Structures are given as C-alpha cells and as structure tokens.
Chains A and B, each alone.
Chain A
Amino acid sequence: DAKTTQPNSMESNEEEPVHLPCNHSTISGTDYIHWYRQLPSQGPEYVIHGLTSNVNNRMASLAIAEDRKSSTLILHRATLRDAAVYYCILRDVVLREGAQKLVFGQGTRLTINP
C-alpha cells in the first residue's frame, strides 16, 4: 500500500476554514485518495474521496494536486463537532472485490477552539 504522511495535530478556531494536508508521493495511477475521520469514542466515518479532480460534498472539499502527490481536505467552516482524527488513505481501485481494506496511518488530530 502506498504511504501517506500527515501532520500529527492541527488546531483551528470555530467557524474558520481548516486545511488538512496529506502527502502521498508514491501514489499510483489507480489509487483513489480517501479521507475518513474518527470522532472521540466512535467508529471511523467516511468524509470524501477523489481520483484526480477536486471534489465537493456536504461535509468537505478535497483539493488534489495536479501531480497527485499531495491533497488537502478542506472544512469550510469548522464546528466543535469536527474535532476528530482525520485519516488520509490511498485505495487501489483495481483490487479484487472484498480486498479493499482501509490501511489507517497516523492521521491528524484536529482540535477546534470555541
């Protein structure tokens, strides 16, 4: 599995945008970039994923560098409920069915200040 690198922790203020970076310099052409988050005492939760183009959904935006060696998860207006560990994960789209496990790396612990 290709490796990702994220900062250990980040801090932001409520109602401000948050940009969470992820480096994946060894990404392959068939790797999707996935983001999951884990709120305290809960199971991981899907946030967003993309391949090459920037993606938006109701939770966040994903900006992918042109060379795909890095990406940034953007929370447009952080709330206290966004405090969580955010994981950037690469998943190979060509893996056989049922073999697409998630490999969780270190993740970024996001703290939101009121």
Chain B
Amino acid sequence: AAGVIQSPRHLIKEKRETATLKCYPIPRHDTVYWYQQGPGQDPQFLISFYEKMQSDKGSIPDRFSAQQFSDYHSELNMSSLELGDSALYFCASRVLAKNIQYFGAGTRLSVL
C-alpha cells in the first residue's frame, strides 16, 4: 500500500540558509500535518492543512511557512535557519472521517 513520502530524507544546511521539505500524502488523503521532533524530544505539532487550506497552527516559528498544493502535496519552507532547527520533521496524512494519521519516515535536517 502507498505510504506518505517525504523528501529529502536527509538535509544539511548552514546557518541562515533556507530549506524546503516536501511531503506527498497517501492518495485520496485530504489533510496533511507537519511535526517537528528535536533530539531526545517528543514530536511537536507545527501546522496542518485540510483541502489545501491551513486548518490549524502550532508552535511554528514565523521563519517557517507551509502550503498544500492542488495535487495535495505539501511543502514546509524554512528560512534563516538556526542551529536549533536541527530536528526530524515528520509529515502525516489523514483521510476525511478516518481518525488515524499515517506518518512518513521523516526528513532529518542538520543545521551547521
């Protein structure tokens, strides 16, 4: 069965650079969630999109932005990267009326 695809799997950036993370949800899933997991921490919700509209927002820095496109894939754009942005970034997708989120394998971002 198709799963949530995230790319790239690993990303190394310098401070103050920008990064774009991509998420391809499971086909026919209409909601995408982004989570950040710092080293030794639990996943923290960043932002979500339902039918291409932002539906909820968590502790996402102003330097980050995200959107969901017409084909339902989503991108998380991160600017002015800081050392503290080094983390695993997970994307999850969900289909309407099903109360289960399916997670991708994550993108490991390292900011040097």
A interface residues, Cβ below 8 angstroms from B:
32, 34, 36, 38, 42-46, 49, 85, 87, 91, 93, 96-107
Can you name 11 A-B residue pairings with CB atoms under 8 Å? A42-B105, A42-B106, A43-B103, A43-B106, A98-B48, A98-B49, A98-B50, A101-B33, A101-B45, A102-B35, A102-B45
**Min C-beta distance of B36 to chain A, whole Å:** 11
Contact B99 A98 (CB under 8 A): no
A-B contact count, CB below 8 Å?
66
Interface segment among B11-19, B51-59, B71-79: the answer is: B51-59
B25 an interface residue at 8 Å Cβ cutoff?
no
A residues in contact with B53, CB < 8 Å: 98
Binding site of A, secondary structure by majority: helix, strand, loop or mixed?
loop
A residues in contact with B42, CB < 8 Å: 85, 87, 104-107
Q: How far is the CA of A21 from the CA of B58 in the complex (A)?
A: 28
Binding site of B, secondary structure by majority: helix, strand, loop or mixed?
strand
A residues in contact with B20, CB < 8 Å: none
Interface string of B1-31 (1 = CB under 8 A from A): 0001000000000000000000000000001
B residues in contact with A46, CB < 8 Å: 100-102
B interface residues, Cβ below 8 angstroms from A:
4, 31, 33, 35, 42-45, 48-51, 53, 55-56, 58, 90, 92, 94, 96, 99-106
Q: How far is the CA of A16 from the CA of B90 in the complex (A)?
A: 32
**Min C-beta distance of A62 to chain B, whole Å:** 13
Contact B105 A43 (CB under 8 A): yes
Q: How far is the CA of A42 from the CA of B104 in the complex (A)?
A: 8
Q: How far is the CA of A36 from the CA of B56 in the complex (A)?
A: 21
Q: Which residue of chain B is the closest to A85 with respect to CB atoms?
A: B42
Q: How far is the CA of A93 from the CA of B98 in the complex (A)?
A: 11
**Min C-beta distance of A8 to chain B, whole Å:** 12
**Min C-beta distance of A89 to chain B, whole Å:** 10
Picked from A34, A45, A93, A101, the residue with its CB within 8 Å of the CB of B56 is: A101
Contact A97 B96 (CB under 8 A): yes
Q: A87-B42, A104-B42 are contacts. A99–B99 as well, Cβ < 8 Å?
A: no
Q: Which residue of chain B is the closest to A45 with respect to CB atoms?
A: B103
